[in-house]
Chain A
């Protein structure tokens, strides 16, 4: 008996999006209630699956098409330890962003379009994470990124349109490369199911384009994940979008359609080779270091946060890459497991604190009407809750205990040292210090400045729904550090690491061999 909740993760947000467009036309106020109900249901389903599913992975065949002679036909949805975690952060950050939007989006028009596109974006991301078929990954990826193009341009001002054009052009280049790679895969493997491709490639049917496929997929999904040579769109797009959307894009979208797919494909579809592993680690280390240097000079808060997203994603990629190198060489597999766990843990943490930081930036923009750090002054007195929550998030991203960022960075650095990547460990520590410096700048200029800023109007604290989601995220930042504790780590993070470490497990559970 297959778990009927798995397809609902895609079907519910789709139904929500269409119902919002139909009912929102006749009844005002429906869109926000509908979106809230959709995201609540999704959060419930994804956490229920995380708790009840545990370490076991479940496979859902759409339409009930069973494999024929061990060759999967039809479409598969796969829910395992790794996708369960990503699904949870998608629906959790999505829910809090919707609560935040209830007040924030009151200044914009076309409420029904906003919530409808939001639900479509969630549906696309859930689809990417669940899909066990590389072409379906592409289809769901397009659903989510096309919705995000429209959402980035939601303000319809000059900056927004410029940013979204840049985002669309680079996004289209990425999609083209992914589709091209899928074509090559279908040519050489004669199948599109990830598990089946793994089997065919493993039996030596790699074809002459094996390296090209890997490079194209790494470039395409690297563009979606904004790894450093492909990062040009991210600062513009993430800073121009409405703040709840920035939180979704930076907190969830680049992970669900970028990092998650890279990790999934390079662990569960391709055999790990030393060359690709070194390439991925280098790109990660480069993003980590260059992102933070680009960030520290920024005066626009949202641009600063956007560059930090690149840097923090670099940590994830580098850490997973270290794990890949060790696995490819077949040495010290417990260190490899530690590095991968650190990467996944940092990905979850980044969703919480970067989502919160973007919501804080939105709150400042909402009350003070500016994003320039130099124009703000002493907001800590007039906006105590925003100040407190952003302090929590800043400490978290800079890696100060007891916040979650400390533990994941600690695991990453310890794994790098244990794997004898001393230079990368030192670099990770250095980048963390520079991150701290740039967030001290953020705190100093925005909240603890003694000079009055250039803002003329009276500044008040933001409305209750916005406060509610910010405080909840700040608490989540604290609570996520519990995942580092031994007992909890084994139940939550280890299933995700196991499915990546055990190379054949993913495909054997689907093909049944």
Chain B
């Protein structure tokens, strides 16, 4: 896939980082404000997709990136499951129990497991949307070959 003009590249460089940070903000404040893991993850994936669209990428590079994102996707969802399963071993021994201390409502570090769940859902969603995008691009490149 070929890249775009210098103007597009420069603008993308400027805003991609800000979009990425905004995604992280949405994920971390998931338990306090609207949004959360899913919405933030989509924004994170958006910043990556923007960079790939602007700068282009050769085929082998894309395949390698796709492998990486699949790995992150599976790891994130596995860790999410293990966190949920940890409830079976600790405290009341119930699946999905929120056994961490809940803290003061309204503070960033509070609500026990919820921020952790949000973070891993965020990684999962970002990686899977990136994987879908890359799979479509790879598919097109393969057809063009």
Contact = CB atoms under 8 A, between A and B. Distances in A.
Interface of A: 2, 4, 7, 11, 14-15, 18-19, 21-22, 25, 60-64
A63 B98 contact: yes
A134 B77 CA distance: 24
Q: Helix, strand, loop or mixed for chain A's interface?
A: helix
A19 B93 CA distance: 24
12 contacts: A4-B93, A7-B95, A11-B84, A11-B85, A18-B74, A18-B75, A18-B78, A22-B74, A25-B67, A61-B94, A63-B87, A64-B94
Given A18-B74, A21-B74, A25-B67, A11 B97 contact: no
Contacts of A7: 88, 95-96
A60 B98 CA distance: 16
Q: Helix, strand, loop or mixed for chain B's interface?
A: helix
Contacts of A18: 74-75, 77-78, 81
Nearest to A15: B81
Q: Give the 7 A-B CB pairs with smallest separation, nearest first.
A: A7-B95, A18-B78, A63-B96, A64-B94, A21-B74, A62-B96, A18-B74
A2 B74 contact: no
A234 to B, nearest CB: 28
Contacts of B82: 15
A7 B87 CA distance: 11
B110 interface: no
B71 A22 contact: yes
Contact of B97 (A14, A19, A60, A64): A64
B13 interface: no
A21 B70 CA distance: 8
Identify which of B75, B87, B92, B96 gathers the most chain A CB atoms within 10 Å of its CB.
B96
Contacts, number: 44
Contacts of B81: 11, 14-15, 18
Contacts of A19: 78
Contact of A25 (B71, B92, B93, B94): B71
Nearest to B77: A18
B88 A4 contact: yes
A180 B97 CA distance: 31
Given A11-B84, A18-B74, A64-B97, 9 more contacts: A7-B88, A11-B81, A11-B95, A15-B78, A18-B77, A18-B78, A25-B71, A62-B95, A62-B96
Contacts of B92: 64
A460 to B, nearest CB: 37
Nearest to A18: B78
Identify which of B67, B82, B95 gathers the most chain A CB atoms within 10 Å of its CB.
B95
Contacts of B78: 15, 18-19, 22
Contacts of B71: 22, 25
Nearest to A4: B88
Interface string B57-99: 0000000000100110011011001101101100011111110
A60 B70 contact: no
A385 to B, nearest CB: 38
Nearest to B93: A4
A63 B93 CA distance: 9
Nearest to B98: A63
Contacts of A60: 95
A21 B74 CA distance: 7
Nearest to B78: A18
Interface in B94-115: 94-98
Interface string B132-145: 00000000000000
A2 B85 CA distance: 15
A359 to B, nearest CB: 30
A145 to B, nearest CB: 18
Contact of B95 (A4, A15, A21, A22): A4
A216 to B, nearest CB: 27
A246 to B, nearest CB: 26
A18 B81 CA distance: 10
Contacts of A62: 94-96
Contacts of B85: 11, 15
B74 A63 contact: no
A21 B71 CA distance: 8
Nearest to B67: A25
Given A7-B88, A11-B81, A11-B84, A63 B97 contact: yes
Nearest to A17: B74
Contacts of B87: 63
A2 B77 contact: no
A25 B75 CA distance: 12
A399 B75 CA distance: 49
Nearest to A23: B74
A19 B74 CA distance: 8
A11 B96 CA distance: 11
B119 to A, nearest CB: 17
Contacts of A25: 67, 71
A114 B74 CA distance: 15
A15 B95 CA distance: 14
A400 to B, nearest CB: 45
Contacts of A15: 78, 81-82, 85
Contact of B75 (A4, A11, A14, A22): A22
A112 B98 CA distance: 33
A60 to B, nearest CB: 7
